[in-house]
Chain A
Amino acid sequence: MKSGARSLKVSLALYVVIVMLFFTLIGWWVYFFSSKGDELAEHVELSGPLNAGQYSAIHEQLGEWASMFFFEGIFLGVLLLASVLLVLRAVRRELVLNRQQRNFLSAVTHELRSPLASAKLYLESIRQGRADGEKAERYLAHAQEDIERLEDLVEDLLTARRMTGETAEVHPETMDLSGLVLRRVERFAALHDHATVELDAPAAVMVEADPQALDRVLENLLGNALKYGGAQPRIEVGVGVDGRSGLLTVRDFGPGLQGADPQRILEPFVRGKDENVRTQPGAGLGLFIVKELVGAHRGSLRIDDTLDGGGTRVAVRVPLTPGLPRNVRPTHTWGLSDDGPPRPSAGAVGGASRETPGQAAPPGGQEQQL
């Protein structure tokens, strides 16, 4: 909403300036001609009527001035028209943003009301003596889950608001994408030992990005891959370089989008339609937050579920740090799985090794070019 309001303000200011210029110019013309008229009258008074030579000189001069004024007028007129168009465009954008905000609000209310309703009914049932013993225990546990769902939702909402509200900012700095991804993937794999996570990343990919924001992006993508990747999710995470962008990919081997529109699921509160999606907790904000954060980096986001072997792959691109040598050699491949602690499964072909020492090196590396 911020950028819309700003572009409206800028366009309006531009418009006002151009209108003022226009009036100044007209005033100048009036002044100019009247002073020339006075000059001429004075001249005639002092030295009598003009002769033929003077007459034609004045005529010529007048013609020159007229064409100069004509072109000045045309130029300002075009500017005026352009600024009117700019204002119109900004107004239209503002209207669209307003509508989006209204939809957002109505979707928020809807998402908040369902868990609120069930928590309330569970607690009322217990207070009115309609549930006791084991049933009461179950009701309390479910009410607590509802409240946790509300809590998550409020958290997501605040994040989403921060990104669309006045204080929405990312603070890009030069950072190592590979390092960030490695740390997050290790933590993630340790927390979710029923999932198999494979990481494929070169030694260092220096990008201009906000580390906290990118961490959030990765967390949301990993969370999705875990939720929608089936009973024993296998997740492939890749880091690489693509043109002038640092590339981060997260792929699961679940059922894919199942007909859901890849553009629509980036909107807030939109979730896939099938049973598998709807039974998972979540409010449909994860990918929206990813989209907003990546957008704030002037990066790009791509979702693909037409892959050999099935599943969904999300590819995020953020700007590479300019001027640094692009290290695209495959250097590390980590496999992290459920049997034991994070297990390094691949070797450093070159470059600095990280917290995880390298061992055998299976082929593979830079394969996430889209």
Chain B
Amino acid sequence: MSGERLIVVEDEAHLAEVISENLELEGWRVEVLGDGAQALERIRQDPPDLVLLDVMLPSMDGFAVCEALRGDGNQVPILFLTARSSRDDRVRGLELGGDDYLGKPFDLSELILRVGAILRRTQWFSSPSPAGDELRLGDVRIDLATLTVHKPDRTFGLSQKETMILRCLAERPGEVVSRSEIVDTVWGYDAFPTLRTVDNFIVRLRRLLEPDPKNPRYIHTVRGAGYRLTP
């Protein structure tokens, strides 16, 4: 795990300096930007392996940058770094498609661990799945590599998180996968304030993939244990 390219978007000169120099010491290549709009431009142009994104930025805040990137379909992993650590902000950052969230001030070792964990998860996701790239649920065909769903009547895209959850379930068909296992694989150990956010994603997936979301045929809830996929 080295040589990955990271972009640090942080307008406080001192924080940018100490973060980037420490990440470089771990063997990653680091680029620092201090402005939201400029960062968006740069990431669009040449997406890195991970973006460390401050929320309060000049010209465009971190949430907006994340939203714009996800709107483009850009799935570059994002770790939010922010001094606003209210619960709502946390949930908002993650639901906008952020991968993890670190509240300032944080420990140096925690930062390095989280960056490493996100890079590993991305690697897991970009490596070919042992279950294969294609998942069939009745007449719905899901391409896990291109994040697309083919229904008889239409084709549409899934977000990276949705696809990761699906793949996590599909790699162990018929088995119960607990919500905390899903969180671990898809987001990392304590990124979420509550496991309920997984439920929100499952509800969405059912709406997209199940013929009758109220009575799921493929994605089952196992009360008190987790979720099970039966293709």
Contact = CB atoms under 8 A, between A and B. Distances in A.
Pair from one complex:
yes
B58 A117 contact: no
Contact of A124 (B58, B83, B107): B107
A275 B58 contact: yes
Interface string B7-42: 000011111011101100100000000110000000
B126 interface: no
A128 B17 CA distance: 17
A128 B22 CA distance: 11
B92 interface: no
B84 interface: yes
B22 A115 contact: no
A122 interface: yes
Interface string A149-193: 000000000000000000000000000000000000000000000
A274 to B, nearest CB: 8
Interface residues of B, number: 26
The dominant DSSP class at the A interface is helix
Interface of B: 11-15, 17-19, 21-22, 25, 34-35, 56, 58-59, 83-84, 86, 103-109
Contact of A114 (B25, B59, B83): B83
Interface string A256-287: 00000000000000000111001100000000
A108 B13 CA distance: 19
B107 A117 contact: no
A106 B104 CA distance: 14
Contacts of A113: 83, 103-105
Interface stretch (A29-37, A139-147, A231-239): A139-147
Contacts of B86: 106
Contacts of B34: 275
B18 to A, nearest CB: 4
A116 B58 contact: no
A298 interface: no
B25 A118 contact: no
B79 to A, nearest CB: 14
Contacts of B83: 109-111, 113-114, 117
A118 B25 CA distance: 17
Q: Closest 9 interchain pairs by CB?
A: A117-B105, A113-B83, A117-B104, A118-B14, A124-B108, A121-B18, A118-B15, A110-B83, A113-B104
Contacts of B17: 118, 142
